[in-house]
């Protein structure tokens, strides 16, 4: 069976992507340069925009583009990528974490019955410095869950980390974001904090009239223990932990798209809307 060539464009996080490709040596191989049809993994870069890199990949013959949006791209960039006419698998910090993907499956079974979503993210203190970045992270996660947000309200941000200069307090860095939002008629309450004490984790609770769906996951860069539970009147179901990183989940999806066995997990149009919401902050 031939191994799918993967070309990495951009450099921020390149080592992580190459390490992920190395976890599937029977399925794919990393190539320095494109030689025809390939999967393109497009990363942010200091000297080339995400859209320019994606365009270059399309010209090189990419059949699928994994678009790494960890750095919260703007809507215009995403629109340009959407116009390339190449299937795009947008990847963000929590979007492909196995517990999120498992929960999305359970949410899909409950379509039309969900009446409240509670998202609680605890991040490392150094991940982001702007609240719009945090909003992007959460919106991408909710899109991956099948609960794309179309309205934000009651946004608040707080200041957590004191910045000292020669013994003098000069500022507080942003350390928390909380807002209410709506996915259609469904209220979605979101809180993101950054901590130097507790580990990175996500807790997502989806409530419906007849059941609760819950997911808990650790650091998305680590293939650690996670938890996905469905509780209803008949009892509870706990799904087995999938010990994979979000990057590996994205890789599997990209390879399936390349083989014509799957579609992108989320449409890029949804991410364009997220970018517009983020930009309206």
Partner 1 sequence: MTLRVGLVGAGAAAQAIHLPTIARVSRDLVVAEVMDPDVGLATAVAAPHDARVTASVQEMLAGEGIDIAVVCSPNRFHLSQIKELVAAGVKGILMEKPLVTTLEEVEELRSVLADSETKLVVGAMHSYDRAWLEAMRVLEEEGYLALNDVYYVRDTVYLPANSRFEDMATTMVRPDRVGGKDAPADLLRNGVLGLAIHDLPLIRRFIPQFDRATHASVLEPWGYTLTAHGPKGTLDTVARMEGPWEPDWTLEILSHGFELDVRFTPSYVHPGSTTVRLRTRDGRERTFGPYPDDGYDAEWRELLAAVTEDAPLRYDARTLIDDVEYAIKCADLAGEALAQEPKWSVTAEVGAK
Backbone φ, ψ for residue 267 (5° rounding): -70, 145
> For the chain, how long is the longest CA-to-CA vector?
63
Alpha helices, DSSP H only, in the chain?
A: 14-21, 50-59, 75-82, 98-109, 131-144, 246-258, 268-279
73 binds partner 1 (CB under 8 A): no
Give the footprint of partner 1 on residues 99-118 (CB under 8 A).
115-116, 118
Our CB check for partner 1 shows the closer of 17 and 107 to be 107
Please, what is the minimum distance in Å from the beta carbon of residue 36 to partner 1?
A: 35
Tokens 């499956």 belong to 105
| Residue ranges in 135-154 that form contacts with partner 1 under rule CB under 8 A | 149-154
Least distance from partner 1 to the Cβ atom of residue 263, Å: 19
Mapped onto helix, strand or coil, the DSSP state of residue 205 is strand
Stretch that binds partner 1, among 33-41, 53-61, 173-181, 255-263 (CB under 8 A): 173-181
C-alpha span between 82 and 70 (Å, rounded): 18
Instruction: For partner 1, give the closer residue by CB, 161 or 243.
Output: 161
> How long a stretch of residues is the chain?
281
Binds partner 1 (CB under 8 A): choice among 105, 196, 237, 263: 196
Nearer to partner 1, 5 or 73 (CB): 73
Phi and psi, residue 27, nearest 5°: -100, -35
Q: CA–CA separation, 197 vs 206, rounded Å? A: 27
Cα separation, 68 vs 197, in Å, equals: 28
Q: Determine contact, residues 226/242, Cβ cutoff 8 Å.
A: yes
Q: Going residue by residue from 33 to 72, which x/- string records binding to partner 1, judged by CB under 8 A?
A: ----------------------------------------
Q: Which of 40, 50, 98 is nearest to 70 (CA)?
A: 50
User: Stretches 6-14, 65-73, 176-184, 259-267: which one binds partner 1 (CB under 8 A)?
Assistant: 176-184
Restricted to residues 209-268, the positions that interact with partner 1 (CB under 8 A) are: 209-212, 231-233, 236
First and final C-alpha spacing in the chain: 49
Judged by CB under 8 A, the number of residues near partner 1 is: 48
Q: How far is the CB of 58 from partner 1 (least distance, A)?
A: 23
| Closer CB to partner 1, 56 or 80, in the complex | 80
3-state DSSP of 19-34: HHHCCCCCCEEEECCC
83 is an interface residue for partner 1 by CB under 8 A: no
Residue 124 in the binding site for partner 1 (CB under 8 A): no
Footprint on this chain of partner 1 (rule: CB under 8 A)? 115-116, 118, 120, 149-156, 158-162, 175-176, 178-180, 187, 189, 191, 193, 195-198, 205, 207-212, 231-233, 236, 269, 273-274, 276-277, 280-281
């Amino acid at each position: 069976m031939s191994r799918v060539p993967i070309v990495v464009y951009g450099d921020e996080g390149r080592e992580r992507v190459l390490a992920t490709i190395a976890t599937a040596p029977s399925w794919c191989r990393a190539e320095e340069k494109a030689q025809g049809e390939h999967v393109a993994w497009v990363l942010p870069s200091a000297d080339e925009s995400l859209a320019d890199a994606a365009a270059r990949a399309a010209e090189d013959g990419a059949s699928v583009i994994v678009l790494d949006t960890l750095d919260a791209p703007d809507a215009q960039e995403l629109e340009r990528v959407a116009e390339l006419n190449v299937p795009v698998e947008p990847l963000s910090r929590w979007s492909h974490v196995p517990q999120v993907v498992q929960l999305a499956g359970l949410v899909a079974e409950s379509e039309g019955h969900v009446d409240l979503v509670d998202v609680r993210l605890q991040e490392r203190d150094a991940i982001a410095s702007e609240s719009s970045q945090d909003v992007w992270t959460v919106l991408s996660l909710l899109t991956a869950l099948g609960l794309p947000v179309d309205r934000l309200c009651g946004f608040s941000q707080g200041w957590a980390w004191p910045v000292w200069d020669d013994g003098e307090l000069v500022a507080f860095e942003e350390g928390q974001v909380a807002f209410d939002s709506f996915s259609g008629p469904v209220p979605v309450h979101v809180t993101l904090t950054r901590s130097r004490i507790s580990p990175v984790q996500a807790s997502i609770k989806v409530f419906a009239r007849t059941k609760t769906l819950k997911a808990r996951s650790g650091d998305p860069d680590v293939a650690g223990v996670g938890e996905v539970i469905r509780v209803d009147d008949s009892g509870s179901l706990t799904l087995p932990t999938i010990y994979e990183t979000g990057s590996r989940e994205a890789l599997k999806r990209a390879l399936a798209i390349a083989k014509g066995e799957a579609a992108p997990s989320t449409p890029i149009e949804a991410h364009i809307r997220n970018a517009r919401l983020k930009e309206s902050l």
